[in-house]
Amino acid sequence: MSDAETPITLEIQISIENGSWPDMQTLLVRADEVLSEAAVFLAGETGQPFPDDGVEVSLLFTDDASIRKINAQWRSQDKPTNVLSFPAFPVEPGDMPGPMLGDIILAHETLVREAAELSKSFDDHCTHLLVHGFLHLLGYDHMDDEEADEMEGLETRILARLGLSDPYGENDVAP
């Protein structure tokens, strides 16, 4: 393992609020695999720094009704969504984050529906949304085309390392 492949210490806190999610241990193992791979990739490919003592991420697995309330309160969008991310502190891509990255919230019904519409497995779509949410915690966004291209490119490359195809459909297998 090269220096760029040095593991990043992640502490993941998980809460299952609502929804028919897999058990907590299954979610924790998958989230650790996905987020650790994303962190190692970002450190090696983009030079993203991480604190030596590691970072903490909080994951909330909930349902459409709960995420709809959160989305309405914090984003003024009174509708469910697949994933929301709330960085603990403002950070730009490439900046050193604090020890607490923030919160990622996923909605079960929306995730299931989207996975079916995309002909993807539940696990693959959940993996994509975890990566997407993690990038938001590190300052990435998709408010304009340039930001979206950068973020989607990173998502695609991270997912390829996890053996998943391009979620944006530009390639059968991510580069």
Q: What is the pLDDT of residues 162-171, one digit of tens each?
A: 999 888 875 4
If phi over 0 gives left and psi between -120 and 50 gives alpha, with beta otherwise, what is residue 8?
beta
Q: Would 171 be classed as within a structural domain? A: no
Q: Would 37 be classed as within a structural domain? A: yes
How many of the other CB atoms lie within 10 Å of CB of 174? 20
**142 band by pLDDT with thresholds 50, 70 and 90:** confident
**Parent domain of 154:** 3-161
How many of the other CB atoms lie within 10 Å of CB of 79? 11
**Which pLDDT does position 5 carry in this prediction?**
64
Provide the domain count of the chain: 1
**The CATH number of the domain where 108 resides is what?**
3.40.390.30
Whether the Cβ atoms of residue 131 and residue 163 lie closer than 8 Å to each other: no
Here the tokens at position 150 are 């950068």
**How large a percentage of the chain has pLDDT more than 70?**
93
**Which pLDDT does position 170 carry in this prediction?**
55
Q: Would 128 be classed as within a structural domain? A: yes
Q: Would 8 be classed as within a structural domain? A: yes
